[in-house]
Structure 1
Amino acid sequence: MNLSENIEHVKERIERAAEKSKRNPKEIMLIAVSKTQSAEKIIKARDLGLEVFGENKVQEILSKYDEVKNVRWHMIGHLQRNKVKYIIDKVEMIHSLDSIELAQEINKRAEKIGKIMPVLIQINIGREDSKSGIYEEELEEFIEKLIDFKNILISGIMTIPPKSDNELEARMYFKKMRIIFENLKDYKYDNFDIKYLSMGMTADFEIAIEEGANIVRVGTGIFGERKY
């Protein structure tokens, strides 16, 4: 399939999954994961109706930002503290808050430019050493340390669960995240506005939607297999 057909196919999959779970598909944000994709291809995807693009690396956002106009950028990969300053004015949301030190840096850089930066707390729901994120049992203590940061807005949670061909196993992780997400809504702090549950990628986003995701991150399903 070509890019146009891929996008339509992904949108149809989102719509079917939403309808299956009695949800409005318009409430689900599709992030096109554009890592390794050229600015030209991203522009084509934009012109075909996509609005939000996610990058894993700061340098990729910087290399494409000036060329690709009229899109919304999200930082979805692991973010090093010393690189926050380069993207703080360029991204709409940071999906990968995983330490207090990173929160401090985002808050400091956002304050300097008069911005309140929406962030998602990354949960390592599968407890994998290879992945970033805090563990589920660390969340309460983590939250207590975030409440004084005036220039970040805690907007929800994100996860990348372990890869699995077993639908029941994948669904189990997504169910856990949904429970955490719902419990998080009980925290009534000034810098908390819990709206987003970001989970699900090309292979499993239908299951994620069925279990409550309202942000899905799709790369291969839109752009095809990456060459590297």
Structure 2
Amino acid sequence: MTIQKRLQQVQQQIAEACRRAGRSPEEITIVAVTKTVGMDKTKEVLAAGVKHLGENRSEGLLPKHKEIGTDAIWHFIGSLQTRKVKEVVDKLDYLHSLDRLSLAQEIHKRAEHTVRCFVQVKTSAEESKQGLPPEEAAAFVKELAAYPKIEVIGLMTMAPYTENEDTIRACFRTLRRVQEDVQALQLPHAPCLELSMGMSNDFVIAVEEGATYVRLGTVLVGTEQEGEA
């Protein structure tokens, strides 16, 4: 199946979820997670009309950014090591994984422009998941006022990989509650209008629960082994 066909299917699913939730599909930004595919397939994603690309390692981001440049809008979606900030910060349009002050300090030190960030919140009990506890997120966002090069445009979370829909919804609803707490603070540096949540296995639920950015890998780009590129 071509990426164009996959995109049409994803857009249809998003449209149906939006109808159920009383939303507009225009509220949803699709981020194509290209971290597992090479340059040819990444360019196929762009040709299909998806301009938002997500990478989770500097080793994946930098060569693609060098060749594609501003033809794409670049999202860093994985945990960013402090020592890697200087390599990628001025290549990024969005960072989805701000979760500690040491990272904020390094971004502020190294960035030449304001970086649009999602604060990562851990809404599940899974040990493998990263992020701030929900009860600490609003206070953390307040502290980020000390770093003017950081704009908190929203929050990000990952639900556990499970078929239990109630568990997934609970994670996404927790993130919405944290968003409401942050918005109530009316912080100039943290409008917090966006929610980055939902991946290939749960993006439909995420849209129903208020996601504005969904991060889609295999359901959209497939894998390098499928011979689509």
- State the TM-score, normalized to the length of structure 1: 0.94
Aligned counterpart, 1:83: 84
Find the aligned partners of 2:50 and 2:124 in 1 and give their Cα distance.
Answer: 30
Match of 2:125 in 1: 127
Matches within 5 A, 1:20-169: 20-69=20-69, 70-110=71-111, 113=112, 115-169=113-167
Q: In structure 1, how many angstroms separate the alpha carbons of the residues matched to 2:100 and 2:89?
A: 17
- Look up the equivalent residue of 1:104 and give its one-letter code: Q
Shift of 1:67: 1.6
- Determine the C-alpha separation between the residues in 1 that align with 2:215 and 2:32: 6
How far residue 3 of structure 1 moved from its aligned partner, in angstroms, is 1.6
Q: Which moved more, 1:61-70 or 1:32-41?
A: 61-70
Please state how far the C-alpha of 1:211 moved relative to its aligned partner: 0.6
Residue matched to 1:211: 209
RMSD over equivalenced CA pairs, Å: 1.3
**Which deviates more, 204-213 or 170-179?**
170-179
Superimposed CA distance per residue, residues 117-159 of structure 1 (whole angstroms, 9 cap, x where no aligned partner): 1111000111322122111122133123212111100111000
Q: CA deviation at 1:226?
A: 6.0
Cα deviations by residue, 1:1-57 (Å, 9 ceiling, x for unpaired):
222211111111111111111111011010000012111111111111111000111
Q: Is the 8 A contact 2:37 2:223 kept in 1?
A: no
Change (3 A) 1:226 1:185: farther
* Partner amino acid, structure 2, of 1:80: Q
Structure 1 runs (4+) deviating above 4 angstroms are none
SS at match of 2:118: strand
Secondary structure (helix, strand or coil) at the match of 2:61 reads: helix
One-letter amino acid of the structure 2 residue matched with residue 121 of structure 1: V
* Percent identity over paired residues: 36
Q: Separation in 2 of the partners of 1:225 and 1:90?
A: 25
Higher helix share: 2
Determine the C-alpha separation between the residues in 2 that align with 1:225 and 1:85: 30
Aligned residues: 224
Mapped to 1, the partners of 2:204 and 2:142 lie a distance apart of: 33
AA partner of residue 106 (structure 2): E
Amino acid at match of 1:217: R
The answer on whether the counterparts of 1:127 and 1:135 sit within 8 Å (CA) in structure 2 is no
Deviations 1:103-124 (A, max 9, x none): 11111112xx2x1111110001
Q: For the Cα contact (< 8 Å) 2:3–2:220, is it kept in 1?
A: yes
Contact 1:119 1:156 survives alignment (8 Å)? yes
Unaligned runs of 5+ in 2: none
Q: Distance in 1 between matches of 2:194 and 2:173?
A: 15
